[in-house]
Amino acid sequence: MTSTTRSNAKMTATPATRVLGVLAIAATALMAVLGLFISPADVIQGEAVRMLYLHVPSIWIAYGAFVLTSVSSILFLRARKRREDQGRHYDRLAGSAAEVGVVFTGITLITGMLWGKVTWGTYWQWDARLTTTILLFVTYLGYLALRRLPADPMVRSQRAAVMALISFINVPIVHYSVDWWRTLHQKASLSVGRRPEITGEMYWTLLYSTLAVTIVATWLMIHRYRVIRLEELRDEEALAALISSRLKNDDGSN
């Protein structure tokens, strides 16, 4: 590893990310207070409505993360032959966003299943929304698996970028599945251009929860991005050491 890359590696952590981490913890604590104690129970769903403040922000964050993955993948494919770093920055951004998106899709599925047991009487139903969501989870898990396959880093990144774009096709299908098909799942609680399904304290608690989860997800993405960068540096160092060792052996045998 060159002194330049080490120098860059040392510049990855800033006091700003520490502030963001503390802010994420404080925001999450306030979210729990608002969601569990301040916000009222629903007339129909009772206490179970408190799952809303986890379930809905989680899938919104997952959508956002997958949008970021797709945009970064496009930028990577465009920049890979032109930029000095071969677009590695965009590839790392895509990988970190996808992983955070998968975590929040998983949370969406788990909270949805628990919520469904109380309101629908079953944990799972193969209806359009649930089926497309589990498909979304599995395809992005596949994307993450593809990123770990042993191959030339640039080739692997190109394949992953193409898969990210293919996987993204399912995101709008998941979102509009409740409008396009008859499903057990209710319509969107909040939607652009449509009157909100909830109002008052529930509405504001949901918006605040989305903000809090966004802060947490941002902190996670920044740190995951750094870890991917460190993994690349480690792999480059290992490769350099292997080549150096091979050259020494060749010199010794000649």
Partner 1 sequence: MSEVTTVVTGWGITFIIVATYSMWVVSRGKIIGQELGIGEMEQADPGKDADATTDL
Q: Check: CB of residue 162 under 8 Å from CB of residue 71.
A: no
CA distances from residue 250 to 25, 107, 177, 246 in whole angstroms, order as listed: 55, 53, 62, 6
**CB nearer to partner 1: pick between 18 and 246:** 18
One-letter identity of residue 205: T
> Residue 206: how many CB atoms within 10 A of its CB?
21
* CA neighbor of 177 nearest in space, from 144, 139, 129, 245: 129
**CB nearer to partner 1: pick between 11 and 192:** 11
| Eight-class DSSP state of 40 | P
159 binds partner 1 (CB under 8 A): no
223 binds partner 1 (CB under 8 A): yes
Q: Which of 71, 74, 79, 103 lies at the binding interface for partner 1 (CB under 8 A)?
A: 103
**CB nearer to partner 1: pick between 115 and 137:** 115
Side-chain-facing half-sphere of 117: CA atoms under 13 Å: 7
93 binds partner 1 (CB under 8 A): no
69 binds partner 1 (CB under 8 A): no
**CB nearer to partner 1: pick between 9 and 198:** 9
Q: What is the C-alpha to C-alpha distance for residues 62 and 56, in angstroms, rounded to an integer?
A: 10
Nearest-approach distance from CB 196 to partner 1, in angstroms: 22
Nearest-approach distance from CB 54 to partner 1, in angstroms: 5
| Eight-class DSSP state of 97 | H
Q: Which of 78, 148, 187, 234 lies at the binding interface for partner 1 (CB under 8 A)?
A: 234
Q: What is the C-alpha to C-alpha distance for residues 206 and 55, in angstroms, rounded to an integer?
A: 10
Q: What is the C-alpha to C-alpha distance for residues 240 and 167, in angstroms, rounded to an integer?
A: 35
Tokens 């496009």 belong to residue? 74
106 binds partner 1 (CB under 8 A): yes
Q: Binding marks (x or -) toward partner 1, 7..46, rule CB under 8 A?
A: --xxxxxxx-xx--xx-----x---x--xx--------xx
Binding positions for partner 1, rule: CB under 8 A: 1, 6, 9-15, 17-18, 21-22, 28, 32, 35-36, 45-48, 50-51, 54-55, 58, 103, 106-107, 110-111, 114-115, 117-118, 216, 219-220, 223-224, 226-227, 230-231, 233-234, 237
